[in-house]
């Protein structure tokens, strides 16, 4: 999430009551998750296992639960609960409406058709020549390009599935990101596309999604991808251009799939994949999978 105007280390520390380490005028431009964080942004970390990764990430402000040595050119915010305070910062700068307030700042392009049953959140932009079918829900801050088709009962911009277990309950990381759907995308019936926690979930230009597909938060789908029904893609994945994903594929969080890859039905993806054709509950190259099956049959 990028702030509408730059903040300072001091102003952020005052919002959350955290100790600051660094120049009080150190510029703070926004917040982000570790997967997408950029220079000038805050990332949070609340476990020693991930201290090093956060401290040496692109983030220049680290919200952390222990005072540690601060890397050169960076600043720290020391908090007793970084998860809680990350939420506090995000909701301070982003209004959470949950469809409970009057619609405002909706932009709709020329010749776009939106059925009367569609529910639209705040600060939504929809381009030219789009068709939005009945019972679609479009969450806050969603950006939809030109010539996009969204079929019935699809939800664009729902909350991210991101929780921690805290005091015996599940505590939500509040989603203040959005969804960006680029030009010439088609989305089938009953799909769910979660908005980013702090950044954007992106469906690239010319991609086509079948029915009943789940796209997790902060995932980026490239251009001209084809995704068949009942596929589930977790958060923070990167699917490069012209990838074909057949039915019931499941993908773990944070993986990257190279351009031109084909994932056959019911493929399970638990790691990064280079270009190729894959099959199996733990994805393996399709010809290798077939050779293994032949050997197993001979053993019998």
- Between the two ends of the chain, the Cα-to-Cα distance in Å is 57
Distance of CA 121 to the CA centre of its chain: 18
**Both 72 and 197 in a single domain?**
no
| Residue where a domain terminates, one of 51, 71, 93 | 93
Q: pLDDT tens, 33-66?
A: 999 999 999 999 999 999 999 999 999 999 999 9
Query: β-strand 277-279 against 284-285: which pairing, if any?
Result: antiparallel
**Paired tokens of 227:** 């995704």
- List Cβ neighbours of 123 (8 Å cut-off, separation of 6 or more): 104, 105, 106, 140, 141
pLDDT, tens digit, 9 for 90 and up, residues 147-195 = 999 999 999 999 999 999 988 999 999 999 999 999 999 999 999 999 9
Q: In this structure, is residue 298 part of a structural domain? A: no
* C-alpha distances in Å from residue 128, one per residue of 118, 246, 276: 17, 30, 36
Strand 192-194 and strand 284-285: pairing? unpaired
List the helix and strand counts (H, then E) for the chain.
4, 34
Query: Residue 300: pLDDT band by 50, 70, 90 thresholds?
Result: low
**What does the block give as tokens for 15?**
């919002």
Whichever domain contains 212, its CATH number is: 2.160.10.10
Final residue of a structural domain among 38, 66, 93: 93
Same domain, 119 and 188: yes
On whether both 87 and 113 belong to a single domain, the answer is no
- Which of 67, 93, 119 represents a domain boundary (last residue)? 93
> Domain containing 65: what range?
2-93
Band (pLDDT 50/70/90 cuts) for residue 295 is confident
Nearest CA to 34 out of 218, 250, 222 is that of: 218
Domain assignment present for 215? yes
Tell me the CA distances in angstroms from 137 to 140, 199, 213, one per residue in order: 10, 20, 15
Across residues 5-22, what is the average pLDDT?
97
Kindly state whether residues 166 and 45 are assigned to the same domain. Answer: no
Q: Are residues 148 and 272 in the same domain?
A: yes
pLDDT, position 103: 66
| pTM, full prediction | 0.93
* Count of structural domains within the chain: 2
**Whether 162 and 275 share a structural domain:** yes
My answer on whether 13 and 147 are in the same domain is no
Does the residue 28 lie in any domain? Answer: yes
User: How much of the chain, in percent, has pLDDT values that exceed 70?
Assistant: 99
Task: Give the residue numbers annotated as catalytic, written as ranges.
Answer: 217
Residues 276, 237, single domain; the answer is yes
């Amino acid at each position: 999430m990028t702030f509408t105007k730059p903040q300072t280390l001091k102003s952020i520390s005052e919002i959350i009551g955290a100790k600051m380490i660094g120049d009080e005028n150190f510029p703070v431009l926004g917040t982000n998750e570790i997967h997408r964080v950029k220079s000038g942004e805050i990332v949070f970390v609340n476990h020693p296992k991930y201290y090093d990764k956060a401290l040496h990430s692109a983030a220049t402000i680290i919200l952390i639960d222990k005072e540690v040595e601060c890397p050169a050119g960076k600043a720290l915010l020391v908090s007793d609960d970084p998860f809680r305070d990350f939420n506090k910062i995000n909701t301070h700068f982003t209004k959470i409406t949950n469809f409970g307030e009057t619609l405002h700042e909706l932009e709709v392009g020329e010749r776009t058709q939106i059925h009367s049953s569609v529910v639209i959140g705040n600060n939504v932009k929809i381009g030219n020549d789009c068709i939005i079918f009945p019972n679609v829900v479009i969450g806050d801050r969603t950006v939809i390009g030109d010539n996009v088709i969204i079929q019935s009962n699809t939800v664009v911009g729902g909350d991210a599935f991101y929780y921690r277990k805290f005091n015996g309950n599940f505590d939500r990381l509040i989603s203040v990101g959005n969804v960006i759907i680029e030009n010439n995308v088609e989305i089938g019936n009953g799909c769910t596309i979660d908005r980013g926690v702090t950044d954007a979930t992106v469906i690239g230009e010319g991609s086509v999604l079948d029915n009943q597909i789940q796209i997790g938060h902060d995932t980026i789908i490239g251009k001209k991808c084809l995704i068949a029904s009942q596929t589930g893609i977790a958060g923070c994945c990167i699917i490069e251009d012209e990838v074909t994903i057949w039915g019931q594929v499941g993908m773990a969080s944070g993986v990257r799939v190279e351009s031109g890859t084909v994932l056959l039905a019911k493929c399970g993806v638990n790691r990064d994949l280079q270009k190729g054709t894959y099959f199996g509950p733990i994805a393996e190259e399709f010809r290798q999978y077939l050779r293994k099956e032949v050997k197993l049959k001979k053993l019998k």
